[in-house]
């Protein structure tokens, strides 16, 4: 069974646990990255309002752009009867651009003094009614006909209020976390292959008072029975399952039984063991011959009872 049979079994179980999980996490990170590259979720930096509008016309949904020098327009955005944000505007190359900002993005320090962040993340929406209202208000203040300011205000609004920042932030966090966790698991698995003592599954057997070297020695040098799912050594009985290996000492045995049951593929056989501490262990066997061999090995060549 090799030089370290017990630790090889633990390594196999660890691989069956961590490798699929690592691939799943890396696939999740890849999926989050693909979603963040989709126009509905990705965020592109724009130098200013004109470039942002061009990006919108190319199909982009979200941008990051500077917002220094914005002026409050006096228009308020309301929903469900409550004020949700304020429209600011910026004049660039004879075009007025509207910014809808939530209260959380700016600080109103005085009657006409607003402290704004250096840049904001926004999504786009077209709001012709807001543009028309601002044009009319501008024309009225200038004392000119409304037609004189027609087309002055861009109907494309840079909407920071409805920017899906929480969802995008969650996707970014998911991508980073899954990428780090998946890579860490993969690296850990490689380290365990090189240094078996780092296997976290070892802790269970150390707490039970077993030394890994002694378990390796039992399976390597004192093996009486082995079928891939069960093993019996000179002093131990082991059920080799996933993800645990169940162990019972032969010198503590109090009762040994046999049983079998029908399955679609035929009949399956078991040997049951119990000790003086109230623990029980059932070993799966491949056929009747293995069952008889194991019973004779553990109890001696005595007649055993089979329960159907």
- Please give the helix or strand (H or E) that residue 299 lies within, else none: helix 288-299
Pick the more confident residue, 135 or 111: 135
pLDDT tens for 22-36 read 999 999 999 999 999
Poorest-pLDDT segment among 63-67, 122-126, 232-236, 262-266: 262-266
Structure tokens given for 88: 């600011």
Burial letters 93-123, b for 16+ CB under 10 A, else e: eeebbbbbbbeebbeeeeeeebebeeebbbb
In angstroms, the CA 276 to CA 287 distance is 28
Poorest-pLDDT segment among 49-63, 94-108, 131-145: 131-145
Please report which confidence band the pLDDT of residue 306 belongs to, taking 50, 70 and 90 as the band edges: very low
Q: What is the mean pLDDT of residues 258-279?
A: 83
Q: What is the mean pLDDT of residues 250-273?
A: 84
Residue 288's nearest CA partner among 254, 253, 256, 261 is: 261
In angstroms, the CA 266 to CA 307 distance is 16
First to last CA, the chain: 34
What's the predicted TM-score (pTM) here?
A: 0.74
Half-sphere exposure of 254 (CA within 13 A, CB side): 7
- The three-class DSSP label of residue 231 is strand
Please report which confidence band the pLDDT of residue 108 belongs to, taking 50, 70 and 90 as the band edges: low
- DSSP letter string over 172-198? HHHHHHHHHHHHHHHHHHHHHHH-GGG
Q: Is the pLDDT of residue 149 over 80?
A: no
Is-cis flag, bond preceding 243, omega within 30?
Answer: yes
Please report which confidence band the pLDDT of residue 104 belongs to, taking 50, 70 and 90 as the band edges: confident
The bridge status of strand 280-285 relative to strand 306-307 is unpaired
């Amino acid at each position: 069974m090799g030089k370290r049979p017990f630790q090889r079994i633990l390594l196999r179980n660890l691989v069956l646990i961590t490798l699929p999980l690592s691939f799943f996490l890396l696939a999740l990170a890849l999926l989050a990255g693909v979603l963040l590259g989709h126009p509905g979720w990705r965020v592109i930096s724009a130098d200013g309002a004109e470039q942002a509008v061009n990006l919108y016309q190319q199909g982009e949904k979200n941008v990051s752009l500077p917002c220094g020098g914005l002026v409050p327009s006096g228009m308020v955005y309301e929903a469900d009867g409550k004020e949700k944000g304020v429209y600011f505007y910026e004049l660039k190359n004879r075009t007025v651009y509207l910014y809808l900002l939530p209260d959380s993005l700016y600080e109103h320090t005085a009657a006409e003094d607003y402290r704004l962040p250096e840049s904001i993340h926004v999504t786009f929406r077209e709001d012709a009614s807001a543009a028309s209202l601002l044009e009319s208000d501008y024309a009225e203040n200038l004392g000119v006909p409304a037609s004189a300011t027609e087309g002055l205000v861009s109907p494309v609004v840079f909407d920071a209020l409805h920017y899906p920042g929480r969802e995008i932030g969650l996707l970014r966090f998911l991508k980073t976390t899954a990428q780090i966790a998946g890579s860490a698991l993969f690296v850990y698995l490689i380290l365990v292959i090189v240094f078996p003592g780092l296997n976290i599954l070892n802790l269970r057997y150390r707490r039970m008072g077993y030394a890994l070297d002694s378990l390796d020695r039992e399976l390597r040098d004192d093996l009486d029975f082995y079928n891939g799912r069960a093993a019996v050594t000179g002093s131990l009985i082991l059920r080799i399952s996933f993800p645990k290996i169940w162990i019972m000492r032969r010198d503590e045995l109090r009762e040994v039984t046999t049983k079998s049951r029908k399955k679609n593929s035929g009949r399956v056989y078991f040997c049951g063991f119990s000790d003086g501490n109230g623990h029980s262990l059932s070993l799966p066997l491949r056929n009747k011959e293995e069952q008889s061999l194991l019973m004779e090995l553990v109890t001696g060549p005595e007649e055993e009872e089979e329960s159907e």
